[in-house]
Structure 1
């Protein structure tokens, strides 16, 4: 029996049109004069889209002039376009979470459901490229980034094995929760560092520092789970051979936990927390704060000049424009 394509859902979720400004936005909290050069205290927080169940994994896709992000629980990969319209890139995902672009500009995804790293294909689907470590299935890859040498780095906590709304209830095969490096050219998967529950990760502009958030505290939000203690970002030195050393605390959030984050060209860390986006200098000095109407989970820079910060905050896709 052939499928009646007339019964399939449409892909358009928002029609073209300008964004709305978030009401009651208090403005940007400038705590260091360096931030005032980059972000106006009077900048508007823009509402680009409303309707996700759990927005995550923001990434700017320059080849298609769009912002791509995941609606994890709705099992959709979405795209916002500069004319304001939002459409579905992949429908019926296996609980995609974090996204990145590989060295060839192709989309790379973390999947909770298939417990893998996948790559988008030309047919509008995604093919798994990393599924096991030493013969055992991964936990539930959460966030991913690509280093300057093309290697794919990702975090592998157990969140997707504990929440049916973001994966399925499965006993882990691995006894650790780690950050991995996948060198696709040589086919190697390396376990780089262990954590309680690794989450977001990003490199400094020179590639010499890797930041990883550990968010075991968030386990307390899951039924029948006990909250862990960690709600911090850890920094590592990255060697010429990609090994990690000099593990050290970078920052800890007072509200909630640092989920996803980005590092800009200045080396500043723009991290989510329970109350919004915190901007932090490499020396851990707090530069400022952007309050959000819902708890954000991830953010990314985008636009033609990469001067717009996109923020996924549960049901919202938000944005704020930088001065430079």
Structure 2
């Protein structure tokens, strides 16, 4: 009996030790799992957004989330969020061509622009190389406007197929890497100039000694045209206006909007919204804080009354803004980069007074957005590797 009692005790001890070990291992595994991938707030079970996905059986798409009941008036019942295409490295700068009924966007690291045809969903390369283009839009004459990282300039593609350089310097100095560009009815173009193209992945670092290559460790000539070789960052980050006569004016300084990214006008063109994001390569200035800044646009096209429009906090999560667009009612739609806060990337929507209306949740970081479709009631989202869309209950303020 004694031996049996000792044997039983050993077994009990071994079982207890095994259970403790298993619990410790499970806890360690869970800790490691949490460190690698934060808990998701995406729809459970995780949905498939692709063209062959199961039908969306909900009256409202489950990833359309209201913070204010007014949001439902902007969204469309029975309209699912769809993934139209995937295959980019970093999709950016979507723009809608109304006459051609196609969407064009940039795949910055792959140095190309792509086009999606509405008639059959066909996707093809539109321009390659694209000079690591970022933001795109169309002006009031239907001409495509593009901000190029690699060549540090903004260009316009004419209706006859030729290309016009709108601006590549200010006061004799090269731009950093123009990011986004929009048209004004008076014929001027407004664009932002942060430093994000001064890196290997999305353009080219500075020549040796420049702010993004201070020790000359990078060979910035590798894989690049020879004229890129001596380019270095020469200016602070800022926002600019190119008038119809070609004159370039700095409309907002780095102090006004550090590291400016996406920008758009209100429907009446009396307010300019600028997304101020985080620090980029070679930055020595303040860097952005992940906020949207608003300015009054004066009759002489100068800016005044700078103010923080939104801190882009949702549930105390920073939904870092990148691209911004307005609808016809003046609501501001902003792409959201929430980093590792899974479930908060996508699009946030704000009233003209900065109240959060709601958000659109997608499983990838969203870089930029635009309104399009024949009725301009379809929101297109360029998100990391993919293009998403959803029909909405309003129209985007034109042009696209």
The TM-score with structure 1 as length reference comes to 0.87
Deviations 1:119-146 (A, max 9, x none): 2256867442211100111110000101
Structure 1 residues 100-122: Cα deviation after superposition (integer angstroms, max 9, x where no partner): 11232111100000000012256
Deviates more, 1:279-288 or 1:123-132: 123-132
Structure 2 CA distance for partners of 1:53 and 1:123, relative to 1, 3 Å: farther
Q: Answer yes or no: is 1:233 the counterpart of 2:292.
A: yes
CA shift at 1:288, angstroms?
A: 0.6
Q: Matched residues in 2 for 1:67 and 1:96: separation?
A: 15
Q: 1:80 aligns with which of 116, 140, 162?
A: 116
Greater Rg, structure 1 or structure 2? 2
- Structure 2 vs 1, CA of residues 224 and 134 (structure 1 numbering), >3 Å: closer, same or farther? closer
Given the superposition, is the C-alpha separation of residues 180 and 21 from structure 1 closer, same or farther in structure 2, using an over 3 Å criterion? Answer: farther
Instruction: Name whichever structure is richer in strand by fraction.
Output: 1
Q: Distance in 2 between matches of 1:177 and 1:285?
A: 28
The gaps in structure 2 that reach 5 residues or longer are: 1-49, 211-231, 338-344, 395-400
Is 1:192 the counterpart of 2:251? The answer is: yes
Q: Deviations over 1:163-199 (max 9, x none)?
A: 2111111134433111000013x22100000132110
1:258 to 321, 324, 331: 321
Question: Whole-Å Cα distance in 2 between the matches of residues 177 and 104 of structure 1?
Answer: 29
Q: Which runs of 5+ in 1 are unaligned?
A: 1-17
Q: 1:19 corresponds to which residue?
A: 51
C-alpha change, 1:64 and 1:323, in structure 2 (3 Å) is same
State how far apart, in whole Å, the 2-side matches of 1:23 and 1:97 are.
34
Q: Once superposed, what is the RMSD of the aligned Cα atoms?
A: 2.4
Task: Check the 8 A contact 1:53/1:314 in 2, yes or no.
Answer: yes
Change over 3 Å in CA distance of 1:226–1:45 after alignment to 2: farther
Cα separation, 2, equivalents of 1:22 and 1:145: 38
Are positions 1:91 and 2:128 aligned together?
Answer: yes
Q: 1:298 is matched with which residue?
A: 368
User: What is aligned with 1:106?
Assistant: 143
Give me the TM-score of the superposition, normalised by structure 2.
Answer: 0.71
- Relative to structure 1, is the Cα distance of residues 223 and 293 closer, same or farther in structure 2, using a 3 angstrom cutoff? farther
Matched pairs, number: 302
Q: What is the CA–CA distance in structure 2 between the aligned matches of 1:181 and 1:225, rounded to whole Å? A: 24
